[in-house]
């Protein structure tokens, strides 16, 4: 049984090696990246089974994606090679501070051609968790249909459906994202937004108010990432939320991928039947690891590494 299944687009990422604006970069290092496959790799490195559903082109970059995922122990038996479209690519600059410029070349990519026909109901039915993000429904109409259908199939078989909004302004407007993601949230059991995404979806700046609004859509658990402040979670029926402080990091090398590492840690915590406070603490430790190295997956921790980090005090 594959415990965690993810679904979405994975691309080739080229990260500038020199700090500064992307237009001045001349040397790049190639990685593979995708929010959903990042989570799958994170789960596998923590000692559990994970699978990725997606499409890549019949090209060298597509093969690089599949080779890397297989090498990380992720099941790609339900990935599809599309012989009519290319694997998407994107470029990211390197800066010591401030926002990072990211340029995508993914329109019409193989990943954007994911469709409901790529879903195997029996495969989904055997999972414990289905992890979705708001990136997939923003890519194309067929991707949107696939994300909604996957959630419906998983829930029909008692699989816990997790949604990380992962809002990308370059993919769609705030209004379109809000409407679609609130609709998808009604088919999910766990919501996992960042604090800005929680505000986008609910209009509330207070984490507890935002969590209660999202619970009203039908989720049984809302986990909100608070960045440098840590994370907070609220279960349906609880009088008060559970809070976990962040893990201090001496230097942030690359903040991208921290949310995916957090999600992997939290799902593993739930797989191991940790209580909510301990699952949040594990997620925070994983998120802290992820920002210490450039690239989306390079710093995702192994279980042996994460167990060496002391658990911070978690208060309820």
Active site residue 254: no
Provide CB contacts within 8 A for 131, sequence distance 6+: 4, 5, 6, 7, 36, 39, 40, 162, 164, 263, 267
CB 128 within 8 A of CB 51: no
**DSSP-derived 3-state class of residue 314:** coil
**Mean pLDDT for the stretch of residues 245-265:** 80
Query: Token digits for 147?
Result: 């994300």
Each residue's pLDDT tens digit, 23-67: 999 999 999 999 999 999 999 999 999 999 999 999 999 999 999
Does residue 256 carry a pLDDT above 90? no
Each residue's pLDDT tens digit, 181-207: 999 999 999 999 999 999 999 999 999
Question: Which helix (H) or strand (E) covers residue 15, if one does?
Answer: strand 11-19
Each residue's pLDDT tens digit, 118-145: 999 999 999 999 999 999 999 999 999 9
What stretches of the chain show up as alpha helix (H) in DSSP?
35-45, 60-71, 121-125, 136-139, 141-156, 174-185, 195-202, 207-216, 258-271, 276-290, 303-306
Catalytic one of 75, 118, 254, 260: 260
- Residue 149 half-sphere exposure toward CB, CA atoms < 13 A: 14
Cα distance between the two ends of the chain: 34
CA distance 313 to 230: 12
Structural domains of the chain sorted by starting position, each given as residue range(s) with its CATH number in brackets: 4-10+35-55+64-79+118-306 (3.40.1190.20)
Does residue 248 carry a pLDDT above 90? no
Share of the chain above pLDDT 70, in %: 93
Find, among 106, 135, 124, the residue nearest to 161 by Cα. Answer: 124
Each residue's pLDDT tens digit, 70-115: 999 999 999 999 999 999 999 999 876 667 789 999 999 999 999 9
Q: How far does CA 187 lie from the centroid of its chain?
A: 17
């Amino acid at each position: 049984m594959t415990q965690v299944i993810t679904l979405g687009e994975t691309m080739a990422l080229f990260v500038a090696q020199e700090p500064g604006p992307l237009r001045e970069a001349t040397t790049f290092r190639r990685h593979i990246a995708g929010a959903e496959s990042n989570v799958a790799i994170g789960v596998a490195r923590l000692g559990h089974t994970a699978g990725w559903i997606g499409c890549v082109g019949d090209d060298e970059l597509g093969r690089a994606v599949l080779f890397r995922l297989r090498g990380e122990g992720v099941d790609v038996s339900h990935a599809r090679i599309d012989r009519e479209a290319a694997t998407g690519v994107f470029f990211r600059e390197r800066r010591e501070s401030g926002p990072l410029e990211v340029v995508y070349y993914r329109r019409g990519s193989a990943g954007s051609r994911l469709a409901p026909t790529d879903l195997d109901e029996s495969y989904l039915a055997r999972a414990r968790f289905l992890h979705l993000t708001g990136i997939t429904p923003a890519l194309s109409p067929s991707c949107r249909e696939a994300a909604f259908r996957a959630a419906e199939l998983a829930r029909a078989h008692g699989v816990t459906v997790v949604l990380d909004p992962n809002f990308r302004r370059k993919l769609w407007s705030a209004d379109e994202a809000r409407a679609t993601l609130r609709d998808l949230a009604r088919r999910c059991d766990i919501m996992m937004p960042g604090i800005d995404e929680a505000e986008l979806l609910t209009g509330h700046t207070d984490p507890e108010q935002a969590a209660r609004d999202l619970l009203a859509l039908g989720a049984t658990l809302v986990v909100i990432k608070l960045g440098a402040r840590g994370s907070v979670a609220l279960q349906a029926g609880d009088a008060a939320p559970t809070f976990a402080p962040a893990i201090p990091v001496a230097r942030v090398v690359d903040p991208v991928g921290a949310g995916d590492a957090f999600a992997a840690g939290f799902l593993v915590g739930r797989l191991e039947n940790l209580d909510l406070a301990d699952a949040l603490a594990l997620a925070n430790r994983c998120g802290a690891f992820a920002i210490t190295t450039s690239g989306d997956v390079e710093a995702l921790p192994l279980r042996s590494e994460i167990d060496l980090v002391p658990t911070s005090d978690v208060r309820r």
